[in-house]
């Protein structure tokens, strides 16, 4: 039986595409289904940061999911 392993990782820092570099490398393994979840908008001390999409030039199986998170 050839079962795929599903991985879900969640983090506010994933709103920045560069911060997903390690997870993107893990997603290159064909037997893994990797999903990254991050807030659609993160309000930092520098102001709001919108979720950056995956760069189109990078080929990976990484799935990106925007969350409607609310931080108070």
Using one digit for the tens of pLDDT, what is the confidence trace for 20-67?
999 999 999 989 999 999 999 998 888 999 999 998 876 678 999 999
Domain positions in the chain are 5-67
pLDDT at 71: 63
Using one digit for the tens of pLDDT, what is the confidence trace for 8-23? 999 999 999 999 999 9
Helices (H) and strands (E) in the chain, counts: 1, 5
Is pLDDT at 72 greater than 60 in this prediction?
no
């Amino acid at each position: 039986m050839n079962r795929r392993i599903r991985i879900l990782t969640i983090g506010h820092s994933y709103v920045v595409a560069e911060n997903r570099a390690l997870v993107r490398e893990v997603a290159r393994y064909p037997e893994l289904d990797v999903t990254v979840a991050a807030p659609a908008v993160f309000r930092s001390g520098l102001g709001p940061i919108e979720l950056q999409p995956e760069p189109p030039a990078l080929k990976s199986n990484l799935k990106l999911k925007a969350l409607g998170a609310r931080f108070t």
